[in-house]
Amino acid sequence: MRIVVIGHGMVGSRFAQDAATRIPDAHVTVLGREPHEPYNRVLLSSVVAGKAAADGIALDAPPHERIDVRQGVSATEIDRDRRIVTASDGSLHRYDRLVLATGSAARIPQIQHVATPDGLVPGVSVLKDLADAQQILGALPKARRAVVLGAGVLGLEVATGLAARGLSVTLVHHADRLMERQLGSAASAVAEGSLGRLGISVVTTTSVTRVIEKRGRISAVLLGNGAEVLTDLLVMCAGTIPETALARRAGLPCERGVVVDDALASPEDGTVFAIGDCAQPPEGGSGLVAQGWDQAARLVDAWAASGTGSGETTSRPRGEDTDTTNVVRVKATGLDVVTMGLSGKFDHGERDLRAVRLSDPAIGRFVEVVVSHGLLVGATVVGDKACATELQALYTRMLPVPSDPAHLIVRPVPGAGPARKNVTEMDDDDTVCQCNGVSKGRICAAIADGCDSLQDVSRATRASTGCGDCKPQVKELLAASAASDTKVPALAGMGEA
């Protein structure tokens, strides 16, 4: 089966690797616009913050005899009648199945003088790919002040990262609260207080309306409220737009994204599929890489099961594999925010919902849990990373919770109960990598099979290939294994009663 994948990002590359590995007759051609190996876009804000190196976020995508990757080669035309994709280098690629993983582009707001005929004004940038991150890094040596437009997940990560590098940062957001899709007013206020302690000025309910230049570079921005803010750098984090131009030219139905059905196939052409940010499935797109990874896995599962590439694609049952597709996590320097399920503004009085909230603005902590029928159906956590990790495990694995939801957020008095587990004391079915749903037991099994480095474990289990927060825990398990005389039995049994 000839599969052509258009897009070599986090979703396209994962699909290609899985398809070649699990579908015996699959021959996969990948067309990637960027001249790089695939890399972890989730960590671009960490590159800007100086927490990760630009050359250190590459994804592990080992060569495969049935994968042909064309780097720096984009698709220019899809001939659906002949089932041929034309590439920018003039090459033609026949397909039996075509997978669109073209991702999304950064949205450029309507701002006066933000661009010239040659592109954005010098000192103005977005953050969507590695080239954008390198452009921002190149501007930092001469920058003392920065304005970040947009207080969604990316905007918060960029703002805190630039502040950590010593810049005076102003965060501008159009809504009346930060992360308005995920946070309610109280949680946003706590997060805003934490940003203030980091030295970040926050301006809400307005936007940037004009870029002011001096000597060919940005020198200030004008806000909708009339204020002028001096700046050396403007980073626009104002959302994304699905890349649909290629699909539209091919006559495929597109609205916001490429329209697909429950099987991720175009209703106009059953040989064309779309996954990741470019896709518009019936449930809508979240903009999170977890949803794209889940779609890639579902597509491979169906095609591998059918052996013909036409199997039925369904959602995975929760409880069998962890569902992280609607978990939102901010990876910010000095600010931890995690939301899942019901969060932000929802009807607290809805029948069968119980919500309990703890708010402690003085130390930048806010926790709200929402319980229904004995299960955690939503949570918002600001400033309590350990609590967020525990709640995410309960949520994604659909584990029963205490009858009194307060027990989920109120910890035992120190000395009055058992201490929290470290990773070596966790049960084998406890989740270590929340992004990919990798349990401690899977990591231990990989180590027992000979994986003796973080890279080996990541390749075998995909642990730490998402946000990277679990890397210290994976390293701790590796260290425990190396220090153990009876390597496999001692490690595998850790945390069992």
Query: Looking at the structure, do residues 275 and 389 belong to the same domain, yes or no?
Result: no
Question: Which pLDDT value is given to residue 267?
Answer: 98
The beta-carbon contacts of 301-309 under 8 Å, at least 24 apart in sequence, are: 302/263, 303/1, 303/19, 303/23, 303/26, 303/97, 304/22, 304/23, 307/23, 307/24, 307/25, 308/1, 309/1, 309/3, 309/23, 309/26, 309/96, 309/97
Would you say residue 117 has pLDDT above 60? yes
Query: Are 294 and 331 in a shared domain?
Result: no
- Band (466; pLDDT cuts 50, 70, 90): confident
Judge whether 386 lies within some domain: yes
d(CA 376, CA 327): 13
Q: What is the CATH number of the domain that holds 480?
A: 1.10.10.1100
Q: Domains in the chain: how many in total?
A: 4
Q: Could you tell me if 356 and 382 lie in one domain?
A: yes
To the nearest 10 degrees (0 to 180), the angle between helices 440-448 and 471-483 is: 40
What's the CA gap between 111 and 302, in Å, rounded? Answer: 45
Q: Which two tokens stand for residue 255?
A: 């609205």
Q: Greatest CA span in the chain, whole angstroms? A: 71
Mean pLDDT of the 148-157 span? 98
In eight-state DSSP terms, residue 439 is E
H or E element, residue 446 = helix 440-448
d(CA 159, CA 98): 38
The reply to whether 150 and 205 lie within a common domain is yes
* Mean pLDDT score across all residues of the chain: 90
Final residue in a domain of this structure, among 250, 277, 306: 306
220, 285: one domain:
no
Whether 64 is in a domain gets the answer yes
Give the residue from 338, 367, 364, 369 showing the smallest Cα distance to 353. Answer: 369
The domain that contains 384 carries what CATH number?
A: 3.30.390.30
Q: What CA–CA distance (Å, rounded) separates 468 from 127?
A: 19
Backbone angles phi, psi at 246, to 5 degrees: -65, -45
Is the domain of 80 the same as that of 48?
Answer: yes
333 and 428 in a single domain? The answer is no
Q: Indicate whether 416 belongs to any domain.
A: no
Q: Which residues pair with 77 in a beta bridge?
A: 86
Tokens 């042909």 identify what position? 68
The model's pLDDT over 80-89, given as tens digits with 9 standing for 90+, comes to 999 999 999 9
14 and 39 in a single domain? The answer is yes
Residue 210's DSSP bridge partners are 112, 222
Nearest CA-CA partner of 195 in 203, 183, 184: 203
Confidence of residue 320 (pLDDT cuts 50, 70, 90): very low
Percentage of residues in the chain having pLDDT higher than 70? 90
Give the end of a domain, one of 214, 238, 262. 238
Residue 134 CA to residue 272 CA, distance in Å, equals 34
Q: Is the pLDDT of residue 424 over 80?
A: yes
Residues 242/244/63/315 CA torsion (nearest 10 deg): 70
Pairing of strands 233-236, 124-126: parallel
Estimate the crossing angle of helix 10-22 against helix 289-306, to 10 degrees: 20
Domain end marker among 210, 238, 266: 238
Answer yes or no: do 134 and 215 share one domain.
Answer: yes
Range of the domain at 281: 2-104+241-306
pLDDT at 421: 62
Instruction: Express as a percent the part of the chain with pLDDT over 90.
Output: 71
pLDDT at position 414: 52
pLDDT at 379 over 60: yes
Helix (H), strand (E) at residue 32: strand 27-32
Alpha carbons 333 and 156: distance in angstroms, whole number:
9
For residues 417 and 86, the model is more confident at 86
Residue 415 lies in a domain: no
Residue 312 maps to a domain: no
Same domain? 48 vs 138: no
Q: Would residue 313 count as lying in a domain?
A: no
What CA–CA distances, in Å, run from 259 to 8, 85, 243, 367? 20, 19, 12, 37
Mean pLDDT confidence for 370-377: 94
Are the C-beta atoms of 8 and 17 separated by less than 8 Å? no
What count of residues does the chain have? 497
Query: In the predicted model, is pLDDT for residue 495 greater than 70?
Result: no
As a whole number of angstroms, the distance between CA 40 and CA 27 comes to 25
pLDDT category, 492, cuts 50, 70, 90?
Answer: very low
Tell me the whole-structure pTM to 2 decimals.
0.86
The identity of residue 442, as a single letter, is: R
pLDDT grade, residue 302 (50/70/90)?
very high
- For residue 491, pLDDT over 70 is answered with no
Q: Is the pLDDT of residue 493 over 60?
A: no
pLDDT of residue 312: 55
> Both 158 and 146 in a single domain?
yes
In a domain, 320, yes or no: no
As given in the structure block, the two tokens for residue 71 are 């780097």
Tell whether 418 is covered by a domain: no
Treating both helix axes as pointing N-terminal to C-terminal, what angle do 185-197 and 153-164 enclose, rounded to 10 degrees?
Answer: 20
Residue 286: which pLDDT band, with cuts at 50, 70 and 90? confident
Do both 130 and 209 map to the same domain?
Answer: yes
Instruction: Indicate which CATH number applies to the domain containing 209.
Output: 3.50.50.60
